[in-house]
């Protein structure tokens, strides 16, 4: 009987204290940290993503940080492949993978696998968009209702991105989006202990988010985004520039909003992100909750769990 290797998940909303707890666990357990964060992958985006500092990374190395240029795309499938490779390397050296972050889609992809959806086809997508111009998205939505009524009921006719993707999947594969997403993905070959960390109250989390955003501005977030703008090859439709805070700072530097509005919108966007993360986590199965304000107790609970 093969015994699966152990892995730890440390999940939580933004500003919940994941990095601090990961550092404590790194000091007390034979773990190595793998970042599970769709913003920390980008080079040159350090302040606005709350990336661990150079000193923190020296003390607690993180894998899968600074692996993409902000002009590049990175998918959940890319993450899963990269994370599995890093986890296997960690286990081969007799240590435990500790996956830390707040990108819940990445955790889900890693834990459950990915349905075998076809890659995007620019020609097919262009054909769909041309039809949309001629016939209207409402007409294409009616077509989707005939092809895949379950997906059509879930996708609004005013959501061209998802509507286009559902049609594209059918045109490429001959199978509906509903059929393909029902195919089970490859599950994670590890014995996973899952933890979520958050403050006891939502108000405290909001205070931490606000304080951290102001701190980012104090240490040079504006200059960081200005340097990204000066490159000339980035824009606010890129996934990197859609990271919370970056779009709002870009708008401010572009003269579209004033400083106070940028701060207000940046904090609001971060709160909305934390709300979405908490919604994911409340529906997550087999997760042990830890209190951000009780770091020592949280660390002891993790240690106890993996020693069983």
- Residue 239: closest CA among 90, 3, 71: 71
Please tell me whether 94 is known to bind a ligand. Answer: no
In a domain, 138, yes or no: yes
Q: How many domains does the chain have?
A: 2
Residue 1 has pLDDT above 70, yes or no: no
Instruction: Please indicate, yes or no, whether residues 74 and 222 belong to a single structural domain of this protein.
Output: yes
At residue 185, the pLDDT reads: 62
Q: Does pTM top 0.95 for this prediction? A: no
What is the rounded CA–CA span in Å between residue 60 and residue 36? Answer: 15
Which CATH number do you get for residue 161? 1.10.20.140
Instruction: Please indicate, yes or no, whether residues 70 and 204 belong to a single structural domain of this protein.
Output: yes
What is the rounded CA–CA span in Å between residue 202 and residue 277? Answer: 13
CB 38 within 8 Å of CB 239: yes
Instruction: Please indicate, yes or no, whether residues 144 and 220 belong to a single structural domain of this protein.
Output: no
pLDDT digits (tens, 9 = 90+) for 167-189: 999 999 888 888 877 665 667 99
What is the rounded CA–CA span in Å between residue 293 and residue 205? Answer: 11
In a domain, 296, yes or no: yes
- Residue 264: closest CA among 242, 240, 245: 245
Instruction: Please indicate, yes or no, whether residues 243 and 174 belong to a single structural domain of this protein.
Output: no
Token digits of residue 14: 């933004």
In a domain, 107, yes or no: yes
Q: Of the residues 181, 212, 227, which one is the last residue of a structural domain?
A: 181
In a domain, 46, yes or no: yes
What is the rounded CA–CA span in Å between residue 297 and residue 56? Answer: 22
- The residues, any chain, with a CB within 8 Å of residue 34's CB and separated by 6 or more, are 62, 63, 64, 83, 86, 87, 90, 97, 98, 99, 100
Query: In sequence order, which ranges of 93-243 are alpha helices (DSSP H)?
Result: 104-112, 122-135, 137-147, 149-154, 160-173, 177-181, 202-218, 221-230
Residue 2 has pLDDT above 70, yes or no: no
- The residues, any chain, with a CB within 8 Å of residue 289's CB and separated by 6 or more, are 195, 196, 197, 198
Please tell me whether 16 is known to bind a ligand. Answer: yes
What is the rounded CA–CA span in Å between residue 13 and residue 200? Answer: 12
The length of the chain, given as a count of residues: 308
In a domain, 26, yes or no: yes
Token digits of residue 274: 């934390």
Instruction: Please indicate, yes or no, whether residues 126 and 105 belong to a single structural domain of this protein.
Output: no
Please tell me whether 113 is known to bind a ligand. Answer: no
Q: Torsions phi, psi of 92, nearest 5?
A: -65, -20
Token digits of residue 55: 């000193």
First vs last Cα of the chain: how many Å apart? Answer: 19
Residue with the bigger pLDDT between 48 and 159: it is 48
Which residue do the tokens 């002009």 mark? 71
Please tell me whether 12 is known to bind a ligand. Answer: yes
In a domain, 133, yes or no: yes
Instruction: Please indicate, yes or no, whether residues 85 and 200 belong to a single structural domain of this protein.
Output: yes
Please tell me whether 176 is known to bind a ligand. Answer: no
Determine the structural domain holding residue 28 and report its residue range.
6-114+185-307
Instruction: Please indicate, yes or no, whether residues 219 and 109 belong to a single structural domain of this protein.
Output: yes
Instruction: Please indicate, yes or no, whether residues 251 and 161 belong to a single structural domain of this protein.
Output: no
In a domain, 1, yes or no: no
| Percentage of the residues of the chain whose pLDDT score is greater than 90 | 83
Q: Torsions phi, psi of 63, nearest 5?
A: -90, 155
Instruction: Please indicate, yes or no, whether residues 140 and 160 belong to a single structural domain of this protein.
Output: yes
At residue 183, the pLDDT reads: 60
What is the rounded CA–CA span in Å between residue 19 and residue 30? Answer: 17
pLDDT band at 68; cut points 50, 70, 90: very high
For residue 50, the SS3 value is coil
CB 34 within 8 Å of CB 100: yes
Which CATH number do you get for residue 240? 3.40.50.300
Q: Of the residues 181, 213, 232, which one is the last residue of a structural domain?
A: 181
Q: Of the residues 132, 147, 181, which one is the last residue of a structural domain?
A: 181
Mean pLDDT of the chain: 93
In a domain, 225, yes or no: yes
pLDDT digits (tens, 9 = 90+) for 70-113: 999 898 889 999 999 999 999 999 999 999 999 999 999 999 88
pLDDT band at 3; cut points 50, 70, 90: confident
Please tell me whether 15 is known to bind a ligand. Answer: yes
- The residues, any chain, with a CB within 8 Å of residue 66's CB and separated by 6 or more, are 40, 41, 42, 43
At residue 184, the pLDDT reads: 54
Most distant CA atoms of the chain, gap in Å:
64
At residue 145, the pLDDT reads: 94
């Amino acid at each position: 009987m093969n015994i699966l290797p152990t892995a730890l998940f440390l999940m939580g909303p933004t500003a919940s204290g994941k990095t601090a707890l990961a550092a404590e666990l790194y000091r007390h357990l034979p773990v190595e940290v793998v970042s599970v964060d769709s913003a920390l992958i980008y080079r040159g985006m350090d302040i606005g993503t709350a990336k661990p500092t150079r000193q923190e990374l020296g003390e607690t190395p993180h894998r899968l940080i600074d692996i993409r240029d902000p002009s590049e795309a990175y998918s959940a499938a890319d993450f899963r492949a990269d994370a599995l490779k890093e986890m296997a390397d960690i286990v081969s050296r007799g240590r435990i993978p500790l996956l830390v972050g707040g990108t819940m889609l990445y955790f889900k992809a890693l834990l459950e696998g990915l349905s075998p959806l076809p890659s995007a086809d620019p020609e097919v997508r262009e054909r769909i968009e041309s039809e949309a111009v001629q016939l209207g998205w409402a007409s294409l939505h009616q077509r989707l209702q005939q092809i895949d009524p379950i997906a059509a009921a879930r996708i609004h006719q005013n959501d061209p991105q998802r509507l286009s993707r559902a049609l594209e999947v059918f045109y490429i594969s001959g199978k509906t989006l509903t059929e393909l997403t029902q195919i089970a993905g490859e599950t994670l070959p590890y014995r996973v202990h899952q933890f979520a960390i958050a403050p006891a109250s939502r108000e405290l989390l909001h205070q931490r988010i606000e304080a951290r955003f102001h701190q980012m501005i104090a240490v040079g977030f504006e200059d960081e985004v200005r340097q990204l703008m000066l490159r000339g090859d980035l824009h606010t439709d890129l996934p990197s520039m859609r990271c919370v805070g970056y779009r709002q700072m870009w708008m401010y530097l572009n003269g579209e909003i004033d400083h106070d509005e940028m701060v207000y919108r940046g904090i609001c966007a971060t709160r909305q992100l934390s709300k979405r993360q908490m919604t994911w986590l409340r529906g997550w199965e087999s997760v042990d909750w830890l209190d951000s304000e009780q770091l020592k107790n949280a660390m002891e609970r993790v240690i106890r769990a993996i020693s069983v």
